[in-house]
């Protein structure tokens, strides 16, 4: 079997003096969708920030696509082909949809070694965005902003999409659309690392799951096994 695309071994992370992650290990293989599941405050967002070099962290092994990323700054990690969509989305609220995408497509921003996304291909995937190209980011709903943030991540041609709680603050009907969109991206060959509290989102999209609690790994295995345990065991890994 080929080496994993992302290998994380023994990851610790801190905010100031407060240690948040304890010896976390996980991996994502090429074409796979992997869920980080856990309750509020479990450390999911911190795990993704630690991966991107946005918080102080230490790991025995932190390798993406064969490159040691432990000492790389965030922009270099992104350029290797990781499209990170943070929980707060970080779109420019004063700029329009089209301008937000233009900024992501500035020269030198791409180069992620993944499939290139033309504007047409993006708008095929996100027809709502195609219809609101002149709308300012600040005038969009939570779900629309999430889609824009996802579209913007694709502009940099990632191989791995890292999505931090994409369903948060999004209306249920839009969550369904989002599941379809992320599922289509997976079907196109992109690898996905998804942090979620919404179990249904993980179950619809992911092949495998890691359950995190209080900064530690509590369980890992195929999504189907987690689903089985959740439905039939009195003490499920999610309790």
Ligand X SMILES: Nc1ncnc2c1ncn2[C@@H]1O[C@H](COP(=O)(O)OP(=O)(O)OP(=O)(O)O)[C@@H](O)[C@H]1O
| 223 touches ligand X (CB under 6 A) | no
Among 26, 37, 43, 185, binds ligand X (CB under 6 A): 43
Among 33, 42, 175, 194, binds ligand X (CB under 6 A): 42
Q: Give the DSSP letter string of the chain.
A: -PPPSEEEEEEEEEETTEEEEEEEEEEE-TT-EEEEE--TTSSHHHHHHHHTT-SEEE-SEEEETTEE-TT--HHHHHHTTEEEE-TT----TTSBHHHHHHHHTSTTT---SS----HHHHHHH-HHHHHTTTSBGGGS-HHHHHHHHHHHHHHT--SEEEEE-TTTT--HHHHHHHHHHHHHHHHTT-EEEEEES-HHHHHHH-SEEEEEETTEEEEEEEHHHHHHHHHH-SS-TT-
Site string for ligand X, 62-101 (x = CB under 6 A): ----------------------------------------
Among 24, 33, 45, 50, binds ligand X (CB under 6 A): 45
Distance CA 178, CA 14 (A): 31
Taking the complex as a whole, the smallest distance from the CB of residue 1 to ligand X amounts, in Å, to: 30
Judged by CB under 6 A, the number of residues near ligand X is 13
Taking the complex as a whole, the smallest distance from the CB of residue 189 to ligand X amounts, in Å, to: 27
Taking the complex as a whole, the smallest distance from the CB of residue 79 to ligand X amounts, in Å, to: 24
Span 142-201, contacts to ligand X by CB under 6 A: 165, 197
Pick the closer one to ligand X by CB: 22 or 92.
22
Among 38, 81, 112, 143, binds ligand X (CB under 6 A): 38
Pick the closer one to ligand X by CB: 42 or 153.
42
Taking the complex as a whole, the smallest distance from the CB of residue 17 to ligand X amounts, in Å, to: 10
Among 15, 73, 94, 188, binds ligand X (CB under 6 A): 15
Taking the complex as a whole, the smallest distance from the CB of residue 44 to ligand X amounts, in Å, to: 4
Taking the complex as a whole, the smallest distance from the CB of residue 196 to ligand X amounts, in Å, to: 9
Residue 196 sits at φ, ψ, to 5 deg, of -155, 145
Taking the complex as a whole, the smallest distance from the CB of residue 6 to ligand X amounts, in Å, to: 18
How far is the CA of 151 from the CAs of 96, 114, 118, 181, 190, in angstroms?
13, 14, 11, 10, 14
Contacting positions for ligand X (CB under 6 A):
15, 18, 20, 38, 40-46, 165, 197
């Amino acid at each position: 079997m080929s080496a994993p695309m992302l290998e994380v071994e023994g990851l610790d992370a801190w905010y100031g003096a407060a240690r948040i992650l304890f010896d976390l290990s996980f991996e994502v293989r090429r074409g796979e969708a992997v869920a980080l599941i856990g309750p509020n405050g479990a450390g999911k967002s911190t795990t993704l920030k630690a991966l991107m070099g946005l918080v102080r962290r230490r790991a025995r092994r932190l390798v993406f696509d064969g490159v040691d990323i432990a000492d790389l700054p965030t922009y270099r990690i992104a350029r290797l082909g990781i499209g990170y969509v943070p929980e707060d989305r970080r779109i420019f609220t004063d700029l329009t949809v089209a301008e937000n995408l233009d900024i992501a497509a500035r020269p030198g921003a791409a180069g992620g070694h993944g499939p290139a996304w033309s504007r047409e291909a993006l708008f095929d995937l996100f027809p709502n965005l195609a219809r609101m190209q002149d709308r300012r980011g600040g005038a969009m709903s939570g779900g629309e902003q999430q889609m824009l943030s996802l579209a913007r991540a694709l502009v940099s041609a990632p191989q791995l999409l890292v999505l931090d709680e994409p369903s948060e603050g999004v209306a249920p009907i839009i969550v369904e659309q989002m599941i379809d969109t992320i599922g289509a991206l997976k079907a196109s060959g992109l690898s996905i690392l998804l942090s979620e509290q919404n179990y249904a989102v993980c179950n619809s999209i992911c092949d495998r799951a890691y359950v995190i609690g209080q900064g530690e790994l509590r369980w890992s295995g195929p999504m189907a096994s987690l689903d089985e345990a959740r439905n039939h065991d009195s003490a499920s890994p999610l309790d």
